[in-house]
Structure 1
Amino acid sequence: MIKLAKGRVSIAQITGAVLFMIIQVITSLYLPDLTADIVNNGVATGNINYIWQEGFKMIAFAVISALAAICNVFLAARVSQKLGQRIRSDVYRKVITYSHDEMDQIGTSSLITRTTNDVTQIQNVWVMILRMMIMAPIMLIGASFLAYQKNHTLTLIFLVVLPIMAIFIGIVMKFAVPLFRGMQQKTDNINLVFREGLTGVRVIRAFRQDKFEQDRFEGVNQDYTNNAVKVFSIMAMMMPVMTLIMSGTNIAIDWWGGHLIAAQAMQTGNLIAFITYAMQILMSFMMLSMIFVFIPRAQASAVRINEVLDQTTTVKSPANPTPFADTTPELQFDHVQFRYHGAEDPALQGVDFDMKAGQTLAIIGGTGSGKSTLVNLIPRFYDVEEGAVKVNGMNVKDVDLDELHRKIAFVPQKANLFSGTVRSNMQYGNDDATDDEIWHALEVAQAKDFIAANPEGLDYQVEQGGDNFSGGQKQRLAIARALIKDAAVYVFDDSFSALDFKTDAELRQALKDDEKISQRVVVIVGQRVSTVADADTIVVLDNGKMVGRGKHAELKANNETYREIVNSQIREGDEK
């Protein structure tokens, strides 16, 4: 936790919180002494003036204590909330730089838990640190010293009470701390299942798997509940046991103190003050124990967050990037081999081609042949194992990532739209895009008609994930967003799959006719032969290997893998 706090908390605010806490503790410790003086020197002697005088002192110290407590709480809350804000921001910034490999290793659901629940645990403990962890030892030491001053004989009671409390707290911690640590992983599991259920609700209903998913969620929910019931049942034992110990301590002090007063070895006021100090000592000890129970859970959360922040980003800009030369667009794969993290066999092997400006490259192959993997190497979502990927003649590993991404417009398999308006979604591709440029991109992407048909036009609201559009409409909007960008390479990763044959053909023709796009390199991943047939070069993949390269007629005549794809679609009436 200290590592997370470095550079993210205000030293001045922490110092202020500590100073106000010290003031609160000192004034709180002084109040029992004033009570003793009032009883000994005022009540016992009937000196009303002395009672009023000391009473006003008590009021003043009580007010000072209250004000100091308010200031301490304010600063502690401010420090903890600012710390949480900065951790969340840093985690988000770090995750944005992750390659697909790092995202796969940690998982989306776990990242959500770490950014929310884990950060909350750290915030809560920092409030406890700036409140209880500072208060408890100061009050414990101060109250012990003042209690000893009132009567050193009675302090022998603590030699019995404190070890009993320590043994009980140790037993509680032994059983509670592992359960607290396990709660974070179980929270991950709940988020994972819940998120899958929400995102896949249509599939669940279509296959009538509602009961199965409910049972699945009930399983992880019950697991979390059982763990929480155990740990909080253990923690619930603390208060009644501690109350019993404190009550027993009070009885012992009253009994022994009563004998001392009867023997005139102790004044009544001193006994009252001693009882108050005893309660402060025991409460301080209990506060320390609570801190030591909750700190391990927060520490586990801190470890999980540090895993995110310390994760080595495998794909990052070089220390001395080479600037892009002002050349004509070009895309080259030079004997590329790629292997996923932990995989035994390469996902791609021996991929080699060179595309110039104005040319269209199509990639086709069976499911799992490596089509999406290939195009994911272009914007450097992954790094190649062997060979090189070059954009405009530059190895993508040698250039700044931001510069590389400016040169590439990418449409992924799944069309992702963001809540907002059509205009705001289109401006993801170009912040400065004018309405005319947006309408032109929508026209090329065959999306103009259904947007223009809405009275709101470009101000038409887009729901989260674009759920108020059909699959084909989302794909066309995602394509339009990419077309607004002035890139060197336009990549469409199976982005026409939800389009009918007519719209597919019209969109591809519009891409050819567009003045800007026709001077760039276009990469199209497709499942249908009709989508790729008119490309300048078709790359055929099979099990990660490039088994064919050429034009449609050439491959149809000479390439067995491509011919099998064509024949399978002829029977379905899919060939152009």
Structure 2
Amino acid sequence: MFKLAKGRMSPWVVFGAVIFMVIQVIANLNLPSLTSDIVNNGVVNGDIDYIWKVGMKMIGFSLLTIIAAVCNVFLSSKASMKMGSRLRNDIYSKVINMSNDEYDQIETSSMITRTTNDVIQIQNVYIMMLRMMIMAPIMLIGASFLAYNKDHKLTLIFLVVLPILLLFMGILLVLAVPKFKAMQTKTDRLNRVFREGLTGVRVIRAFRQDQFEQDRFEDANQDFTKNAINVNVIMAFAFPVIQMIMSGTNVAIIWFGSKLIGAQAMQVGNLIAFMTYAAQILMSFMMLSMIFILIPRAQASAKRIQEIFDLQTTLKEETAPIEADNTPGGHQLVFEHVDYRYANAENKALVNVDFAAKSGQTVAIIGGTGSGKSSLVNLIPRFYDAETGSVSLDGSDVKKYVLEDLRSMVSFVPQKAVLFRGTLRDNLKFGKADATDDEIWHALEIAQAKDFVAENPDGLDQIVEQNGDNYSGGQRQRLTIARALVKQAAVYIFDDSFSALDFKTDAVLRQALQADEHMQQSIIVIVAERIATVADADTILVLDEGKVVGKGSHDELKETNEVYQEIISSQIKKGDEA
């Protein structure tokens, strides 16, 4: 937990919070003594002037306490919230720069919980630490010393009271801490089920699994609720029991104190001050105990966050990276004996992949589901790194480029069409912030999206809902293709991004790509399931179980490759034509 705060908390703000807390405690500790003086020297002697004089001191110390407390709360909150803000930024930065291998190790729902709920737990504990954990020991030591000075005989009461209080708080810790720790994993589960229900709502309705999903959510919700209730029930015992212990302590102090007063061994004012110091001592113990109950939950949260930072990236960058060249033409992409295996996977996803392509050429990749098509193209922008062999761009291994530079040379259209909430213009300028409207409309025209965009009165300023839900599947796919085309790149990758298009739109779009001047100077890599989509490619790679079992043109593979022939045969039976 302290490791996470290092470098994210201003030491000067923390120092200021500590100073104001010390001032607050010192002022608080002076009040009982002043009360004692008023009673002993003012009330008993009837000295009104003395009462006013000491009373004004009490008012001054009270004001000082209030001012110091306000400043401490402000600085503690500022330090903790700033730390939380920086921690969230660092987590997000880490996640954004993760390789896919790292990202696959932690569920999305858990990642969200760690970035929000877990950070809040740490923030809250740091606020309490800067308030109570500093206040409690200072007040405990100070109040104990001053109480002993008032009457050392009465302090023997604490030898009985404090062990009872410690025993009770120890039992509370044993019962509450495991349940506090369990809260985070149960929050993860609740978020995961809720998120799956939201993202899969159409599938749930289509298969009439509404009740099943409601029951699943209810189960997770009840599990979380039951644990939360148990924690609160346990903690509900704390304040009444502590109040009872404090009341019992006051009764004991008054009982024995009255005997001392009767024997003229103690003044009334000292008894009043002693009772106040006793309350401060017991409150200090209670504050420390409450912090020790909450710290384990915060430590569990800190451990979960640290797991994100401890993920070892496989995407190492060279100490002296080469510069990327994104000028049109003259580019070359080469795969040499590339093998790839997903993290913790038993079998390789790609085995001994070899091919080369240069500017102006189109490479198409086809094969059955799970044959490694997406795995192959993900190696080009280094979403993953090859296990053996090399992937080189313009004669240099992609590992030698700065990641940012490498990805500036690659424009990628993923399988799932992803749009972000905002305007269409913002979405299309995602890869090129300074793109002009002419460039955007040109990309939309190539992607066969110009017509339906122009039909909207708002044009490029039309609103895109979350995930692009206000567009059809085919429209979203064309818009993501247009977004990729706006970006000027050396390599364009279309990862099964024509699947939602009808055959006519698919054909017209590919013809527009081939006719575009910039695309003629770039390398195009197409992943597809349809023979019709890949037939015009210069080179077609046929993948089967991660291996390249065929390489050549459509006509060559049609005559010589058995796997390609089987794909053609299966699609002809469905009414497709090669």
Q: Deviations over 1:448-493 (max 9, x none)?
A: 0011000100101111111111111111010001001111110000
- Secondary structure of 1:106's counterpart equals coil
Q: Once superposed, what is the RMSD of the aligned Cα atoms?
A: 1.0
Letter in 2 for 1:446: Q
Query: Unmatched 5+ residue regions in structure 1?
Result: none
Q: Does the CA contact (< 8 Å) of 1:337 and 1:350 recur in 2? A: yes
Match of 1:279 in 2: 279
Question: Displacement of 1:323 after TM fit?
Answer: 2.6
Match of 1:572 in 2: 574
More displaced stretch, 315-324 vs 492-501: 315-324
- Counterparts of 2:545 and 2:211 in 1: how far apart (Å)? 37
Question: Displacement of 1:215 after TM fit?
Answer: 1.2
Match of 2:16 in 1: 16
Match of 1:354 in 2: 356
Q: Does the CA contact (< 8 Å) of 1:412 and 1:492 recur in 2? A: yes
- Secondary structure of 1:397's counterpart equals helix
Match of 2:494 in 1: 492
Of residues 550, 557, 565 in structure 1, which corresponds to 2:559? 557
- Secondary structure of 2:67's counterpart equals helix
Q: Does the CA contact (< 8 Å) of 2:324 and 2:409 recur in 1? A: no
- Counterparts of 1:105 and 1:27 in 2: how far apart (Å)? 52
Question: Displacement of 1:444 after TM fit?
Answer: 0.3
- Counterparts of 1:436 and 1:323 in 2: how far apart (Å)? 29
Q: Deviations over 1:92-146 (max 9, x none)?
A: 1111110011100012111111110010001000100110000000000000111
Match of 2:413 in 1: 411
Match of 1:56 in 2: 56
- Counterparts of 1:314 and 1:376 in 2: how far apart (Å)? 14
Question: Displacement of 1:322 after TM fit?
Answer: 2.3
Is the counterpart of residue 171 in structure 1 residue 171 in structure 2? yes
Match of 2:404 in 1: 402
Match of 2:125 in 1: 125
Match of 1:379 in 2: 381
Question: Displacement of 1:553 after TM fit?
Answer: 1.5
- Secondary structure of 1:321's counterpart equals coil
- Counterparts of 2:332 and 2:219 in 1: how far apart (Å)? 53
Q: Does the CA contact (< 8 Å) of 1:144 and 1:277 recur in 2? A: yes
- Secondary structure of 2:333's counterpart equals strand
Q: Deviations over 1:295-316 (max 9, x none)?
A: 1111111111111122211113
Letter in 2 for 1:165: L
Match of 1:334 in 2: 336
- Secondary structure of 1:487's counterpart equals coil
- Secondary structure of 1:367's counterpart equals coil
Q: Deviations over 1:435-457 (max 9, x none)?
A: 00000000000010011000100
Letter in 1 for 2:430: Y
Match of 2:371 in 1: 369
Letter in 1 for 2:156: L
Match of 2:190 in 1: 190
- Counterparts of 2:402 and 2:18 in 1: how far apart (Å)? 46
Question: Displacement of 1:170 after TM fit?
Answer: 0.7
Match of 1:154 in 2: 154
Letter in 1 for 2:393: V
Match of 1:239 in 2: 239
Q: Does the CA contact (< 8 Å) of 1:118 and 1:184 recur in 2? A: yes
Question: Displacement of 1:324 after TM fit?
Answer: 3.6
The within-5 A match list for 1:307-318 is: 307-318=307-318
- Counterparts of 1:316 and 1:424 in 2: how far apart (Å)? 31
Identity of aligned residues (%): 66
Question: Displacement of 1:162 after TM fit?
Answer: 0.3
Match of 1:250 in 2: 250
Match of 1:38 in 2: 38
- Secondary structure of 1:334's counterpart equals strand
Question: Displacement of 1:346 after TM fit?
Answer: 0.5
Q: Deviations over 1:479-522 (max 9, x none)?
A: 00100111111000000000011110110000000000111110
Query: Normalised by the size of structure 2, how large is the TM-score?
Result: 0.98
- Counterparts of 1:379 and 1:568 in 2: how far apart (Å)? 32
Letter in 1 for 2:91: V
Is the counterpart of residue 451 in structure 1 residue 453 in structure 2? yes
- Secondary structure of 2:383's counterpart equals coil
- Counterparts of 2:200 and 2:395 in 1: how far apart (Å)? 42
Runs of 4+ in 1 over 6 A off after TM superposition: none
- Counterparts of 1:274 and 1:165 in 2: how far apart (Å)? 19
Query: Normalised by the size of structure 1, how large is the TM-score?
Result: 0.99
Q: How many residues align?
A: 576
- Counterparts of 1:322 and 1:8 in 2: how far apart (Å)? 33
Match of 1:506 in 2: 508
Q: Does the CA contact (< 8 Å) of 1:330 and 1:489 recur in 2? A: no
Is the counterpart of residue 288 in structure 1 residue 280 in structure 2? no
Question: Displacement of 1:351 after TM fit?
Answer: 1.0
- Counterparts of 2:577 and 2:318 in 1: how far apart (Å)? 45
- Counterparts of 2:369 and 2:81 in 1: how far apart (Å)? 48
Q: Does the CA contact (< 8 Å) of 2:340 and 2:386 recur in 1? A: yes
Letter in 1 for 2:465: E
- Secondary structure of 1:296's counterpart equals helix
The within-5 A match list for 1:455-470 is: 455-470=457-472
Is the counterpart of residue 263 in structure 1 residue 270 in structure 2? no
- Counterparts of 1:486 and 1:52 in 2: how far apart (Å)? 82
- Counterparts of 2:274 and 2:520 in 1: how far apart (Å)? 90
- Counterparts of 2:320 and 2:193 in 1: how far apart (Å)? 43
Match of 1:65 in 2: 65
- Secondary structure of 1:155's counterpart equals helix
Match of 1:532 in 2: 534
- Counterparts of 1:266 and 1:361 in 2: how far apart (Å)? 98
Match of 2:478 in 1: 476
Of residues 439, 442, 448 in structure 2, which corresponds to 1:440? 442
Q: Does the CA contact (< 8 Å) of 2:365 and 2:526 recur in 1? A: yes
Q: Does the CA contact (< 8 Å) of 1:181 and 1:297 recur in 2? A: yes
- Counterparts of 1:558 and 1:478 in 2: how far apart (Å)? 36
- Counterparts of 1:133 and 1:183 in 2: how far apart (Å)? 23
- Counterparts of 1:75 and 1:68 in 2: how far apart (Å)? 10
Match of 1:25 in 2: 25
Q: Does the CA contact (< 8 Å) of 2:91 and 2:308 recur in 1? A: yes
- Counterparts of 2:569 and 2:374 in 1: how far apart (Å)? 23
Match of 2:135 in 1: 135
Q: Does the CA contact (< 8 Å) of 2:542 and 2:564 recur in 1? A: yes
